[in-house]
Structure 1
């Protein structure tokens, strides 16, 4: 598997040369007035891309079958090997040295400090929470957001690890998640002797970090948001357009139906299916690339590492999921200033700490405009707001080599400048 092909499916890093004309890649400053029309165009383009990838795959298979040097037996063996790699999945793993500090029914706290006693503000990561394992922040031994944080000098590094929802935790609320974040923050403060923490929020972890920072601003030293939907109504995305169409036609009924089908939880398999449907061409392309590279052990290892993470899903608490659909997806209340948690209004203007924002240029899940909007609603001075745009897509912000090697280090170095004590 070539490096370019690996980046295409592993981290959605490949940038199409016709980005500006492509409804899959293009992001506008405001949603289109007709989301149904946008979706028709989007899915038509996605179907065309998927068909193109299928044609490439079929052409490769046919061409190989016609090669006189390749016997039918070899083709059969390759087909079996291919299916084995496609169908065999393992539970994803955490890779670098750390310890579990505490565990609750909805989250664990993992400490990557590795015994550090440095006099530095501790850093707490809130990973994505969209039906996948939190180990995306420690994806591979040398492809790890947690290690990049440590290498920036932020050696007291922690991350929450979201536990898949069960029937027992299906009714967990936003208050429960804020409480577990606060417990993690208090542990970081107590063990480091610092009064504040650096919060890093990836994707859904970003809006949760923002809510926490607004409610407990005195505990937050810096706030870093990567691929985080803060203004859910900015830009146009297939997820946003679909939610608008459903809201206009059915209200929250589709979401409630999915949670009901999951017995009170939002099934991770439903979320996975939605992600695949957004970019079917990427799903097809990675399997075609696998077929082309069955004799490349490194390519196989990369394929399996990503598929083990991507296809191993976990469920999301139904009550929590429906809350975020109502108040954030549909209501956009974090931006409007109407959001309330535990009877308190969540006012982003309470946030005045240094703010670091990272978006993906071709992010079709959370376009940069949704992330960068945070700067317009906080009290942080303009000269303490940093914006960076990585040349890739959504997952690439958290696990892609481009972002981890070139985008995160300077951003985290700036965070470290605000974090040294003594």
Structure 2
């Protein structure tokens, strides 16, 4: 091979052409070798029972196949890497893997991951993963029941932990653990769902085109047909193909060109990612049918329309643990409206949300893609690390809606010693109108989706009565296996593997290219032309994708917006779809009335702890914000109680919730009653007031309104009160 041109030499056109040609040939060979390695890896991993990409050592605690209702899931205990120490008394973290077509292990693919940040924070960590093939007959409900068993096992392993486990569900695992927690709200601590579509209909025109696909395919009959052709097995490669189709520019050009243009540095990263991406798993037909019918097309999780086999309705309003939603504008699979729109399906007003006792925290990233939400190292070290460090704060929040923000720490940051991570974790009070501002459907669009769901039911019933018997009779195991093997997602791996005789010489040529590598110079005009061509191709594919999505939206709205079609499926065009808001739950209403009555009865009753918490929340409500610095001092309220009145943390959280709801009920009356809760000892009252001021000022200088409330609170605490009127503390 020719030597690279020397620095400072004036090259001729021939030099540029020769230099570029050598580099292009070398890059081509190196890319072919990377594709060959990818294919070999996929073939090898296809033989494994559970082809995890976990980088952490682990121990299998519970094999879901041994449960009374067996499933292909397992509970793993993660072993902390060398140099990392975990405390069994700390809150355990349980990461749930998304079974959405790809292989298992994505939540722990890197050291900087959800698992990694939890371990570094000293928390015991567990992982719920899955095997390639489902257990025959397993259903989504069976998986939820298995997850309940896993969670009970984790709790039993940490009897000394004061805090309930934190659950993290990525993508499909997010809505799955939300279902599980709605069925067993007594088990979990904070619940974090990352990139999880909880309200599949939600959005606004011009975004979220995937939500139209079910209607444009005529409903879920095609899902049933695919499962029948697979002998009751649905190939996850179909789901991967759907994901890839969302971004044709990246799928058909940018990903490959990125490897080709930076093959010296990108090949390793490409192979790491493809190890997970290229290992599709399968689902039972019953499982995928439930997902498509109940969630993707029916949107029944957000509307409270799912019931267990025992007839118990799965209602997200049953969840009492804080719910954390992490989403991104760069996520075209689960945009923010789909991740957060369920709140609008459940609640009409902010008062209703707060009165329900539910705490919801969300954060919206501006650019990261769907997979980056739970794969990106930068996200792990910022957002996930911030949430891991702030779980105790989140677990003590008053009911309501909050947005989490992450601020840089600089010289002007007050009390930096109270900040645990590299960023200041802050919570800002929000309203449902902030969720509406992300994008919501109008009544006409809601009726379109409702019509599509009705049409899907009709088409599915027609398929079951006409085509299904013949398809099931003709399908056989050998043909089903061959269909899976010939799926383009699998076939491309086998085509570019060592099984292909045309690639026999590639490893040797690649080794030669690496030994004599001659990268093209950055000033080569042919390299500039290559990049311009790449941008043109990517731009064309991106324009195609946008035009396709716009056409899909127009077709969907045109078809399902027809008043005639809506009438045919039995919908009143003038009726507005209300989701769960229109469904009465008498048991819930009785419980809500009972709680309200109890709060009113206890408004003038309690002790120093109730008085301190109520006063603190009254001041904090002035600015509707709270950050980790205040939370670091919040525990001092509990510690300030006399030794003989030790308050367990769970009871402390209950007091926080009760006093926050009391303020929501009638803030003026609740604040006026504070002197009646205080002890006659002036020294105790002063110490309590000092703690309140320190907590408020830990976040920096209070606002003018917060200062006014602090002054008013000090006057209430200074008020003398006869000892005979002191009521007994409620705890």
Q: Does 1:267 align with 2:216?
A: no
Q: Is residue 2:214 matched to residue 1:254?
A: no
Deviation of residue 384 (structure 1)? Answer: 3.5
Q: Name the residue aligned to 1:201.
A: 169
Given the superposition, is the C-alpha separation of residues 342 and 123 from structure 1 closer, same or farther in structure 2, using an over 3 Å criterion? Answer: farther
1:102 equivalent to 2:73? Answer no
Q: Which has the larger radius of gyration?
A: 2
Aligned match of 1:12: none
Relative distance call for 1:120 and 1:285 in structure 2 (3 A) is: same
For 2:101 and 2:358, how far apart are their aligned partners in 1? Answer: 36
Q: Structure 2 residue aligned with 1:143, among 112, 116, 125?
A: 112
1:172 aligns to 2:143 (yes or no): no
- For residue 76 of structure 1, report the CA deviation from its aligned partner: 4.1
The alpha-carbon distance between structure 1 residues 66 and 119, as it changes in their structure 2 partners (threshold 3 A), is: same
Mapped to 1, the partners of 2:358 and 2:289 lie a distance apart of 37
Residue 360 of structure 2 corresponds to which residue in structure 1? 385
For residues 225 and 375 of structure 1, the distance between their equivalents in structure 2, rounded to whole angstroms, comes to: 14
Mapped partners of 2:199, 2:151: distance in 1: 25
2:330 matches 1:330: no
Instruction: Pick the aligned partner of 1:84 from 20, 26, 33.
Output: 33
List aligned pairs for 1:24-39, cutoff 5 A. none
- Distance in 2 of aligned mates of 1:202 and 1:210: 11
Segments of 5+ residues of structure 1 without an aligned counterpart are 1-62
1:401-412 paired onto structure 2 within 5 Å = 401-412=377-388
Deviation sequence 1:242-273 (CA, Å, 0-9, x none)? 11222xxx332211122223332221222222
SS of equivalent to 1:121: coil
TM-score by length of 1: 0.76
CA contact (8 A) 1:125 1:159 kept: yes
CA drift at 1:295 = 2.5
SS in 1 for 2:100: coil
Supply the distance in 1 between the matched residues of 2:151 and 2:14 (Cα, whole angstroms). 57
* Structure 1 contact 268–316 (Cα < 8 Å) conserved: yes
Match of 1:36 in 2: none
Q: Could you tell me how far apart the structure 1 residues matched to 2:353 and 2:149 are?
A: 25
Distance 1:237 1:258 in 2: 24
Tell me, what secondary structure is at the counterpart of 1:161? strand
| Distance in 2 of aligned mates of 1:64 and 1:172 | 66
Q: Deviations over 1:73-119 (max 9, x none)?
A: x6444323211212422245311232221223411211125484431
- Matched residue of 2:189: which SS? strand
* DSSP 3-state at the match of 2:326: strand
Equivalent of 2:262 in 293, 300, 308:
293
Q: Is the 8 A contact 1:353 1:380 kept in 2?
A: no
Measure, in 2, the Cα distance between the counterparts of 1:75 and 1:139: 32
Check whether the contact 2:104–2:276 (CA below 8 A) recurs between aligned residues: no
Quick check: 2:86–2:119 contact (8 Å CA) kept in 1? no
Whether the aligned pair in 2 keeps the contact of 1:352 and 1:380 (CA below 8 Å) is no
- Once residues 61 and 14 of structure 2 are traced to their aligned partners in structure 1, the CA distance between those partners, rounded to angstroms, is 53
Match for residue 209 of structure 2? 238
Equivalent position of 2:91 in the other structure: 121
d(CA) in 1 for partners of 2:99, 2:15: 43
Alignment-derived partner of residue 68 in structure 1: 18
Q: Distance in 1 between matches of 2:141 and 2:15?
A: 59
Distance 2:228 2:156 in 1: 41
Q: Cα distance, 1:387 vs. partner? A: 1.1
Q: Distance in 2 between matches of 1:179 and 1:150?
A: 27
SS at match of 2:264: coil
What is aligned with 1:190? 156
User: Does residue 1:131 correspond to 2:101, yes or no?
Assistant: yes
Quote the Cα distance in structure 2 between the aligned partners of 1:216 and 1:287: 45
* CA displacement, residues 187-232 of structure 1 (integer Å, 9 cap, x when unaligned): 1011011583222111111111111111100111211111111111
Distance 1:225 1:93, change over 3 A: closer
Structure 2 residue matching 1:110: 3-state secondary structure: strand
1:306-321 matches, cutoff 5 A: 306-321=273-288
Q: CA deviation at 1:310?
A: 1.0
Does 1:353 find its partner at 2:321? yes
Provide the secondary structure at the position in 2 that maps to 1:287. helix
Please report the RMSD computed on the Cα atoms of aligned residues, expressed in angstroms: 2.7
Q: Cα distance, 1:397 vs. partner? A: 0.4
TM-score (norm 2): 0.45
Cα separation, 2, equivalents of 1:205 and 1:65: 55
